[in-house]
Amino acid sequence: MILEKDANEKLKGPNAPIVGLILQRSHIVTGDESHYVAVIMELEAKGAKVIPIFAGGLDFSGPVERYLIDPIMKKPFVHSVISLTGFALVGGPARQDHPRAVEALRKLDVPYIVALPLVFQTTEEWLNSTLGLHPIQVALQVALPELDGGMEPIVFAGRDPRTGKSHALHKRVEQLCTRAIRWGELKRKSKAEKKLAITVFSFPPDKGNVGTAAYLNVFSSIYSVLKE
């Protein structure tokens, strides 16, 4: 605990990592925002600064460009971004505009995590399910955001069966915030400071099939990646 506190103290101040949060307006105006508050409090407790934004509709590219990017220097104010909406950046679940979203994210040019609250299941239903996340939610809130460039789709909030409101899953919120800060720290490092790990395909295991792939030259490809 002392080591963790010391590490958090080092993050604070002018060099503290800055994390942008994309929030859904409907959760805020209806008072269903406890899971948002939990993420903000956890990030700040870990020593990060937070810039939360939301849009009037389901196009979040405008607020991203207006509030997370310096209009003069054309550089981001933040080191990483978490979308807590679970939606694609532009269009939400009903309509997606991936080219526009990709354009906005390229301007932002920081790690972009799309976390998601449970929508089609209560917390208990999700925990007891052998399938895990509902297939519809996988399609709408995992697959579609990944087309924009979203990564690490961590479920960070559950849903109460009586009220229907969201509540934070605290261990997952902690994991999410830790990942966002570490991605932000990685973004700030020079290329020479970064370490790269490459996982080599090997299936079936123990059959001498390390690096095998159908009609692909695995080791030549790895060499090309490392050279680049």
Enumerate the domain spans of the chain: 2-190, 196-228
pLDDT tens-digit readout, 142-162:
999 999 999 999 999 999 999
Taking CB atoms within 8 Å and a gap of at least 24, the contacts of 119-124 are 119/86, 119/159, 121/159, 122/158, 122/159, 122/160, 122/161, 123/158, 123/159, 123/160, 123/161, 123/167, 123/169, 124/161
Q: If you average pLDDT over residues 74-99, what whole number do you get?
A: 88
Q: What share of the chain is helix, strand, coil (3-state, %, to 5)?
A: 45, 15, 40
Q: In this structure, which topology does domain 2-190 adopt according to CATH?
A: Rossmann fold (3.40.50)
Provide the residue type at 9 as one letter.
E
Residue 93 confidence (pLDDT) above 80: no
* Choice between 54 and 11, residue whose per-residue pLDDT is larger: 54
- Structural contact between residues 177 and 46, judged by C-beta atoms closer than 8 angstroms: yes
Instruction: Using a cut of 0.75, tell me whether the model's pTM lies above it.
Output: yes
Residue 9 has a pLDDT of 53
Task: Give the integer Cα–Cα distance in Å for 91 and 190.
Answer: 35
Q: If you average pLDDT over residues 122-136, what whole number do you get?
A: 93
Alpha-helical regions (H) of the chain? 2-11, 25-29, 34-45, 61-67, 98-108, 123-128, 135-138, 144-148, 170-188, 218-227
